Structure 1
Amino acid sequence: MGSGYLPTLNTKAYKYSHQLPIFRKFTQLILKKFIQSIGPGPLIAAAFIGPGTVTVCTLAGANFGFSLIWAMVLSIIATVILQELSGRIGIVSGSDLSTLLRNQKGKRVFRFFSMVLVLLAIVLGNAAYESGNISGANLGLAFYWEAPTWSFAGLQLQVGNFILGLIAFLLLWTGSYKMLERVLVALVILMSVAFTVTAILTKPDFSSLISGFIPKWNQAEIPTLVALIGTTVVPYNLFLYASLVNKRWKKEADIPLMRRDIVVSVVLGGIVSMAILIVGAANTSTEITSAIDVSKGLESVFGSFAGYMMGFGLLAAGLTSSLTAPLAAGFVVCGIMAWDQEIRSKPMRVTMGIIVGLGLLFSSFGIKPVQLITLAQLANGILLPVISGWIIWIAAQHSVLEKNKNTPLATGIAIFIWLITLVLGVKSVGAVFGWF
């Protein structure tokens, strides 16, 4: 038996030894093709999953359990539809949205007002929220290293914020789009793993989780519902994606690739947001004001590991958003002003540097730009329905998209999404003036 068995074993080993390299090459080929097919979609996911999203989703779970998961589904659908329109316009027209806005025909007064509104919202908004991105990343860093605070002439320099802001500035200054894309994709993947693993470890009740996909709400949930959708449907992402698809795809035949890219990326981002909400629902803290409080409350569930995972997720979320916000602002400003939009160009570097610099100034020295954030909220509240409505109108024009224009059904669905952005805009403006 032994003499007949050993040759059989050796034959099998010989067979598998030859099959293994073939399998490895096949796997590498599939992986290579998948990586090559990835477009700028992950950058959009990186942009909307910032510290603000982490905090809003955390508080939604902590205060209302799984009941608002359906709102995340709605926000994913709305984001996919608007971003697909943005990407399609970018590929077919060969221009980004800010350039189209500058070159649009019609009354000069309306065009001038539109350009000023966009500049105001993007520059003020991204500068104000860059401060929050850097500060949020530093909160995540604090789980691993408590950065010191130095005092200078009555001002306190928060070293962690300064270091993280400097890292963001240097990455943008290199001007390598490919490197930025790789860094952001890696951070998005790691962030997704961190939040998803943490959510799984909480062992959520499956039946309660499924019931959260059924739309229902009460009066107390409405502000959180609006905030959940508002953190996903971001005005500057519409400009950012239209600008980036031009660097990735040039032909109308590439539109299906663009669609797959944005759907996969936004859905992935939505799943991460849902995971954060699930983590928030599992907290045992008596007082919840941020994601950090939830991670502390989770320590009783499965130890300090939760804190480290949440900390890394928050650090990655802050870093990704601190890179995409200045990048988007640079594309918009340079497009409207007819300046060079290459990342290494002087106008792009100056614009991105100003956005990061302001965010660095506000966050590192503890300055709270309340008036700036209020103005940004007002401008973004007006900008979101205006820009989304304009994009929907452009997408229905045969003169711009020809055979790729929206069908009447697609336009009807997009108008429904526009109504949602209108509600968000009214809510944002009302919050500034104290109407709600």
Structure 2
Amino acid sequence: MAESDDGLHIRGRLSRLANNIGPGALVAAAFIGPGTVVTASLAGANYGYALLWALLFSLLATLILQEMAARLGVVTQQGLGENIRSMVSNRWLRFGCLSLVLAAVVVGNGAYQGGNLTGASLGAAYWTQHWPWLAPNDTLSNPLALVIGGIAFLLLVSGSYRVVERVLIVLVVAMSAAFIVTFVLTEPDWQALLTGLSLPTIPTGAALTVVALIGTTVVPYNLFLHASTAATKWRRPAQLAQARRDLYISIPLGGLISMAVLATAASAYFGHAASIHGAADLALSLQPLFGDTATLMMSLGLFAAGITSALTAPLASAYALSGILGYPADLRHPAFKATWMVILAVGMLVASLGLEPVSLILFAQVANGLLLPVICAFLLRAVNHPRLGEHVNSRWQNLLGGAVLLLSIGLGARSLFSALF
């Protein structure tokens, strides 16, 4: 039977939409990692729906910065690192920028990569619990991390941006479905949820949690990732509308996932949070209350969150370093490949052996605290450069960008304070 005109029209629209989605989905995949899932879970379990507004606020700040990064990439056909390199002529200042990027993005992502693979392993453990060869042993405390790291390696070593992009889009959709279904199954209190979204309050003891919720979403390496991947996907300023459409679909979806995780924990465990130390505890504890489906969906979401971040963290590091050092941002270039391979290898080692690289993570927190406001300032300067022509920032965009810069200074101060004291 021939397909109807309406069916062809719908398929055509869906196909065009799919082709225009990409870099924004990578950014969403990057910031919805195990760290975000754990932070949102604990926020919901400890403070109910009260901190949902912080996630909404961080979503708006992310949209402002990522739009600038995407516009910079599409118009200049260069990543953020390349733009910083061209703006900084002083070799000492350039060396300082390189050092911060190396410390915060490359070293930091190497440390956090272990958490990404561990989070993915915790989610996958629900399905592999009857496979003895993946159980912890005397040598490896987490053999699953090697398997998942191997999957990430095979995808990245393919050298095809399009393959990596499509896989990440599928994982983001799976993650979205898993967390949203779990959220619905836990039967949220809609009135309390709407109040938490619209009425900013900070319960006693929740100040650091508010900053953590914002800090897991507004991160510097996503700016490098977005600018470079937008320049790869779209080749001329006339395509900015497509880049923005991608941005305004994908990143709010990422914010919705974070909110769904927080609301799930609030629905199930607010007032009874003593036994909840992370997302894995939440996944297992949902079973007696809401059945196998809730546990299955939460485990799937945690696995997808871990593996998406395990793919994007090495990519972001390679894009950032290639831009600063001046070698091609090409998945097939030896230096680019060497960068993501090192990040992935460090993460696999940390996760499979159960290591706790506390000093490395503290070092990365300090570097991130310094890097975020510096990168925000460079981004604002870059999107006001005359070479962008009619695509420079408007007055309102500069005002909003300046507000986010102040926020980044506050987040940076918090990171430094928490790491040093």
Counterpart check, 1:32 vs 2:15: yes
Q: Are the structure 2 counterparts of residues 282 and 337 from structure 1 closer, same or farther at C-alpha, using a change threshold of 3 Å? A: same
Contact 1:134–1:322 (CA<8 Å) still a contact in 2? yes
Confirm or deny that 1:220 pairs with 2:205: yes
Q: How is 1:277-296 mapped onto 2 (pairs within 5 angstroms)?
A: 277-284=262-269, 286-296=274-284
Counterpart CA distance in 2 for 1:337 and 1:405 is: 26
Code of the residue aligned with 2:276 in structure 1: it is: I
1:67 to 40, 46, 50: 50
Alignment of 1:31-430 (within 5 A): 31-146=14-129, 147-152=134-139, 156-213=140-197, 214-284=199-269, 286-397=274-385, 399-430=386-417
Aligned partner (choices 17, 20, 23) of residue 6 of structure 2: 23
Q: CA deviation at 1:300?
A: 3.2
Please report the TM-score for the alignment, with normalisation by the length of structure 2.
0.95
RMSD: 1.4
* Alignment partners' CA distance in 2, 1:137 and 1:295: 13
Instruction: Measure how far apart 1:241 and its partner are.
Output: 0.5
For 1:99 and 1:119, locate their aligned partners in 2 and report how far apart those are by CA, in whole Å. Answer: 15
Identify the range of structure 1 (46-55 vs 362-371) with the bigger mean alpha-carbon deviation: 362-371
Q: Distance in 2 between matches of 1:316 and 1:304?
A: 18
Q: Residue 53 of structure 1: CA displacement?
A: 0.6
Deviation at 1:278, TM superposition (A): 0.8
Q: Please report how far the alpha carbon of residue 219 of structure 1 lies from its aligned counterpart in structure 2 after TM superposition.
A: 4.1
**Counterpart of 2:283 in structure 1: which amino acid?**
S
Name structure 2 gaps, 5 residues minimum: none
Q: 1:105 to 1:123 in 2, by over 3 A?
A: closer
Distance 2:328 2:237 in 1: 24
Measured against aligned partners, the alpha-carbon deviations of 1:156-191 in whole angstroms (never above 9, x if no partner) come to 352111111111111111111111111100000010
Which secondary structure state, in structure 2, belongs to the residue aligned with residue 216 of structure 1?
coil
State the shift of 1:128 in Å. 0.5
**1:182-213 per-position Cα deviation (integer Å, ceiling 9, x unaligned):** 11000000100000011011111111111011
> Are the equivalent residues in 1 in contact too, given 2:25–2:172 (CA < 8 A)?
yes
The number of residue pairs the alignment matches comes to: 413
Contact 1:87 1:258 in 2 (8 A): yes
Q: Find the aligned partners of 1:387 and 1:219 in 2 and give their Cα distance.
A: 32
Give the number of the structure with larger relative contact order, counting CA–CA contacts within 8 Å between residues 6 or more apart: 2
Question: Structure 1-normalised TM-score?
Answer: 0.92
137-146 vs 310-319, which moves further:
137-146
Q: Aligned-pair distance for 1:315?
A: 0.3
Residue by residue, what CA displacement relative to the aligned partner does 1:131-173 show, whole Å, maximum 9, x if unpaired? 0000000000111113312334xxx352111111111111111
Counterpart amino acid of residue 240 in structure 1: L
What whole-Å deviation, never above 9, does each CA across 1:43-72 have from its counterpart, x for those lacking one? 100000000011001111101111111111
Amino acid aligned to 2:405 = W
Using the alignment, how far apart are the partners of 1:100 and 1:75 within structure 2? 25
Conservation of the 8 A alpha-carbon contact between 2:20 and 2:243: no
SS of equivalent residue, structure 1 residue 84: helix
**1:353-402: CA deviation from partner (whole Å, max 9, x where unpaired):** 100001011111112111111111110111111101221122223x2322
Runs of 4+ deviating beyond 4 Å: none
Structure 1 residue 221: Cα displacement: 1.1
Matches of 2:173 and 2:195, distance apart in 1: 28
How far is 1:297 from its partner?
Answer: 3.0
Q: Offset at 1:236?
A: 0.3
Give the Cα–Cα distance (whole angstroms) in 2 for the partners of residues 23 and 78 of structure 1.
Answer: 39
Q: Give the CA deviation at 1:92.
A: 1.5
Whole-Å separation in 2 of the counterparts to 1:61 and 1:218: 12
- Deviation at 1:75? 0.5
Looking at structure 1, the residues matched to 345 and 17 of structure 2 have their Cα atoms a distance apart, in angstroms, of 36
Instruction: Please say if residues 47 and 237 of structure 1, whose CA atoms lie closer than 8 Å, have aligned partners that are also in contact.
Output: yes
1:106 Cα deviation from its structure 2 partner: 4.2
Residue equivalent to 2:418: 431
Distance across 2 between alignment mates of 1:326 and 1:140? 21
Question: Greater CA radius of gyration, 1 or 2?
Answer: 1
Alignment deviations for residues 336-355 of structure 1 (CA, whole Å, 9 cap, x no partner): 22222210121111111100
2:128 alignment partner, SS class: coil
